[in-house]
A and B are shown apart, each in its own frame.
Chain A
């Protein structure tokens, strides 16, 4: 049994969904000077920001996506049972920092999660649940969305992911890089680490009806490494990939495209490339592999669903955008069919989306063209 994704709305440094897709196909890089934080104080100079410095950015971008996605899907939450799940890494923590620095708390605590943002944009939504789970939050939300739809607990699920950087998160990144990173280079031998991006994504998940929908949601495999807090674990990631394939009832050779997590960090990229090489070892020629973070940055809780949204466009249009920032692949990734330099035309039917979060939280989703 499968669920279907009937709408997708996106906000990134490039703009809305169509603007983002066009930029990805052109091979644009959205890196820019940081906007809302003083670079000298955090040791990071660049990010992939949305040009919007008003407070509560993640909630507002999410609300815009909710409105757009509901209209596109033709779903009225006042007439159907609609639940909303929002995955996030940092929630509205930037406003806590602002309040702490300014000495004034000028908002109610419930604005820190996304209940009011979603219900204002979509009156009638039954429940809004904000999920954590770090940078795989969107993937976990998507898994739960499929459960809710397929068990009949909801007619439709608004599954969202949203994040903007906070000063504390930037300061942490600034402390772990030898020198400030100028851009994200997934799977590149000369990668210098990760940068954060702003982004929000909302997908509408409904029960599968033949002939409708943007793409079929086959299944999401979940695992927890229960190992190191920040280092990804080969076995844990492998379990999530295998779980996804088993739930989707697809074999590795049926996967045509992989949207990799690809953070541009040594630990992630080597581990992920190794797992992909292992999973697809018996497949010739193996799936195309691309990754978005070189173009849009690491959008944290939004990143899993952003990859899903791009995978949907690839399945629909037969075009696959390249890995931006990739010049010379790292040895572990050398055997993968990385899409480089320019978009390629292909006919992918099944796409795999990887998402891994701090804490060893892995979520791997399989989608199929409608």
Chain B
């Protein structure tokens, strides 16, 4: 049994659709927004692959949005869009079986660091603003998204930096296969703030990017009309000494689990194509995220997945052909997912 993607919600520097993400990736040049006046704090750069105009109140309304951090707001918007796109309306009959699984790096780094700093610099008895405390928990985005959209099913936050989306996808696929939920919003979110910008600069990972991409994953056969893609398998591994070999092993395991031959892989999304030279055909199309959208950390895998969906949508001849989404982290974590997509919309491709 597998999960079927029937909806998506994207907020990215390239635009608000998976087609926009694909266009930017294909162009290959870094998407740029002027970030000079965005924060009071200095930034390491004047332009960054950040979302140019994100109007929280315009998108979510005034009520309850005053204290949201950017990552949480981005996730809430993307979750709402994925539900709408997948035409799933949570109600009292289904909300206990619909959940949220989001990948993150550290939650909102800015919220955590600001709160910590306040406790150090404010006079005793530490006049920190308690309203901001909830933003410092790592599962804030998934929790707030569930509250906003009334989703009472499985709610999980899976931390894993650049691998977080693939980890979340694996978690979600298992939760659906094992009957813990009928539908899950699964995605990744990362915000651009001075904190992430400097973190990326100082670790030489930059430039920092930002995005939120969320997909509606449903149990195969459970009213899964309009299926765009099927997630067949996800494999994860840890290979600090030889990440290329580790990733290739992951890809082979994922393909074997999915019952797919490596020779049939037609596209590869993620920033790790080189490591898979020997594992998949050289002709397989590469869709790297980083050159266009920067270091999007927990959202990187979600953007790669979105680019694949867009690629399937624009080329009907690719229907049903398997593709890989891959990721790796600096410490040697590796992961790969096998996906099969269609031009999408309207048909149930079982």
Contacts and interface: CB of A to CB of B under 8 A. Distances in A.
**Is B one of A's binding partners?**
yes
A151 B177 CA distance: 8
Interface string A136-152: 00000000000100111
B100 to A, nearest CB: 18
A98 interface: no
A147 B179 CA distance: 10
B174 interface: yes
Q: Which of A151, A152, A247 counts the most B-chain CB atoms under 10 A from its CB?
A: A151
Interface in A141-190: 147, 150-152
A147 B257 contact: no
B221 to A, nearest CB: 15
Category for how many chain A residues contact B? under 10
Contacts of A150: 178
A126 to B, nearest CB: 13
Contacts of B174: 147, 151
Interface in B121-178: 174, 177-178
Contacts of B179: 247
Contacts of A152: 257
A152 B257 CA distance: 8
Nearest to A247: B179
A237 B128 CA distance: 41
Interface in B174-219: 174, 177-179
Nearest to A222: B180
Contacts of B257: 152
Contacts of B178: 147, 150-151
Nearest to B177: A151
B152 to A, nearest CB: 13
Nearest to A147: B178
Q: Which of B174, B177, B178 counts the most A-chain CB atoms under 10 A from its CB?
A: B178
A362 to B, nearest CB: 15
A163 to B, nearest CB: 27
A52 B50 CA distance: 66
A324 B178 CA distance: 37
A55 B257 CA distance: 43
A249 to B, nearest CB: 11
A148 B177 CA distance: 11
Contacts of A247: 179
Interface in B62-107: none
Contacts of A151: 174, 177-178
A147 B257 CA distance: 15
A91 to B, nearest CB: 26
Contacts of A147: 174, 178
A152 B258 CA distance: 11
A152 B179 CA distance: 16
B159 to A, nearest CB: 19
A147 B173 CA distance: 12
A110 to B, nearest CB: 19
Nearest to A246: B179
A92 B257 CA distance: 38
A151 B174 CA distance: 8
A74 to B, nearest CB: 25
A151 B232 CA distance: 12
A147 B170 CA distance: 13
A152 B178 CA distance: 12
A27 B170 CA distance: 48
Nearest to B179: A247
A150 B177 CA distance: 9
A30 to B, nearest CB: 37
Nearest to A219: B179
Interface of A: 147, 150-152, 247
Interface of B: 174, 177-179, 257
Closest 7 CB pairs between A and B? A147-B178, A151-B177, A151-B174, A247-B179, A152-B257, A151-B178, A147-B174
8 contacts: A147-B174, A147-B178, A150-B178, A151-B174, A151-B177, A151-B178, A152-B257, A247-B179
Given A147-B174, A150-B178, A151-B177, 5 more contacts: A147-B178, A151-B174, A151-B178, A152-B257, A247-B179
